[in-house]
Amino acid sequence: MARELLESGSIIDGFRIGEKIHSGGMATLWRVTRDDIAQPIVMKVPTILDGDDATIIVGFEMEMMILPRLTGVHVPKCFAIGDFARQPFLVMEYIQGHSVFALIERAPLSVEEVADLGFRIATALVDLHRQNVLHLDIKPSNVMIRESGEAAFIDFGLSRHLFLPDLLEEEFRVPMGTGPYIAPEQVLKNRTDPRSDIYSLGVLLYYLATNVRPFGIPQAQSSLKNRLWRDPVPPRKIVPTISPQLQEVILRCLEVDLDRRYATAAQLAFDLKNLSEVKLTERAHRTDRNSFFDATKRWFSSIGIESGALQPSATQNNLAPIIMVAVDLSEGMEALMEELRIHVKRVLATMPGVRIACVNVLKLNRLTINYTLDDEGRNIHVQKLVELREWGRPFGLSQERITFHVIEHMDPAVALIEFAKNNHVDQVLIGARASSTLRRFLGSVSSQVVAEASCTVTVVRAPQAQQELEEAGLEMPSQSAE
């Protein structure tokens, strides 16, 4: 995909580009129009430049998957999406109103304002969760208040749909979220629980009520973990006029233990709507954060939590079995990749419920500079993603059953082995290069995957390569049992 220079007056897929209304590190927003759409709309275009992080690309993929499936007043209506093969974009409703970020200037807000705003956002969360979507990046700039009064969420780049593959979880093994608002379980790389959004909303309510972020602005990944063992300063110690009921609600949202948090956004919305009737516990009367002794105790306990947080969710298990297909897009691999496609079709015929994960490794250099643009000015990561999608197009599978992953790594074999392990892959299909019998048999990517993968591995060879092996009296290892 060549970078398309957007400017006012140009036309893309029938949409006329107007003024640029926002330019950020992740995306640019343009006002656009189309003759058959009367309401105000905007086009969101990802920022894909030389040196950009791959998470921008994958996050925009997630938003393109999720937003068109959402309905209702609490999300922007989606009108069109653009393919990465030409120009990725999302055209959506322009929400008229104001963002919650604009209210931060007036913080601390009154108890009544915080409760009312929290009720509106919690109500929006109820609707979002009923559509099987976790936002996972709730913060002031991602919440809009419509002119009609309802809260609406924007920016679903870090979101998860519980019945769609989670590309962010599958490709990256780091916490995904915004530092001040990320929930403890997200820090531990668990993106499966709706109560994570309740925690983030609790952080937002704390900020609006006190004009202080409960955990500051973490500057390093390690500092994110402080919230696993340290409680925030009770809001009433910062602003004494905060009612015990509001402190009770906020601190319940901010519980590290998921079972001590609100079970649903509906329960939170009810308490915020009926704040005077909230039952008070010890949370309401706290005057300080937990003691050093308690924090140390919880710190030791958190060490054991981390490994458990990485277990696959029930939703992910329901998507099994997962077949990972290692797709080599290098020049000269066409015959082998066609043979690999034939094997995938056989799998689909015999295992109708299988999910296919197509993986291509973009090899990074260890010592030299890694260029992210090719000679034609196209982002190499995006170009590989386009080619990978094209390779998988003949299968005709829906988004629920096939995913595409371009992984940047210095060692292709290690990248494939780690992906298979981290995503609990049931079987790997990989092609064996036809050049040099010795290279194929010793030290090749496929043989390393066979030797080290923790699941079944099937090695596919082009017919010519198989014939060469037979003539040489050699047999390539084809499978590795678990």
Specify the pLDDT at position 130.
96
The answer to whether the Cα torsion of 103, 104, 108, 111 is positive or negative is positive
Q: What is the pLDDT of residues 259-314, one digit of tens each?
A: 999 999 999 999 999 999 999 999 999 999 877 777 777 776 666 555 444 344 43
Give me the residue spans of the domains in the chain.
11-93, 97-308, 319-472
Length of the chain in terms of residues written: 482
Tell me what pLDDT residue 53 has.
66
Region of 93 on the Ramachandran plot (φ > 0 left; ψ -120 to 50 alpha; else beta): beta
Alpha carbon separation from 253 to 35, 127, 224, 267, 284 (Å, rounded): 46, 18, 17, 11, 13
Which of 120-124, 321-325, 432-436: highest mean pLDDT?
A: 120-124
**Banded pLDDT at 442 (limits 50, 70, 90):** very low
What is the pLDDT at residue 474?
46
Beta bridge partners of 11: 16
User: Which option is the CATH number for 11-93: 3.30.30.10, 3.40.50.12280, 3.30.200.20, 3.40.50.261?
Assistant: 3.30.200.20
Q: Answer yes or no: is pLDDT of 344 > 80.
A: yes
Please give the pLDDT value at position 108: 97
Least confident of 4-18, 299-313, 332-346: 299-313
Phi, psi (rounded to 5 degrees) for 406:
-105, 115
Task: Tell me what the pLDDT averaged over the chain comes to.
Answer: 86
What pLDDT does 464 receive? 63
**Which secondary-structure segment (H or E) carries 325?**
strand 322-326
Closest by CA position to 416, among listed 473, 359, 334:
359
Residue of 225, 275, 229 lying closest to 249 (CA atoms): 275
Position with higher pLDDT, 150 vs 352: 150
Hey, how many other C-beta atoms are within 10 angstroms of the C-beta on 470? 10
pTM of the model: 0.82
Report how far apart, in Å, the C-alpha atoms of 413 and of each of 31, 144, 323, 430 are: 45, 45, 17, 11
For residues 405 and 387, the answer to whether their CB atoms sit within 8 Å is no
Q: What is the mean pLDDT of residues 81-101?
A: 93
Q: Per CATH, which fold does 319-472 belong to?
A: Rossmann fold (3.40.50)
Mean pLDDT of all residues in 438-458: 77
User: Which of the given ranges, 3-7, 196-200, 288-292, 342-346, has the highest pLDDT on average?
Assistant: 196-200
> What pLDDT is stored for residue 337 in this prediction?
92
Query: Residue 351's pLDDT is what?
Result: 85
Per-residue model confidence (pLDDT) at position 371: 55
Average pLDDT of span 83-93 = 91
465/433 Cα distance (integer angstroms): 8
Token couple for 262: 């609100």
Q: What is the fold, at CATH topology level, of the domain defined by 97-308?
A: Transferase(Phosphotransferase); domain 1 (1.10.510)
pLDDT in tens, 108-152: 999 999 999 999 999 999 999 999 999 999 999 999 999 999 999
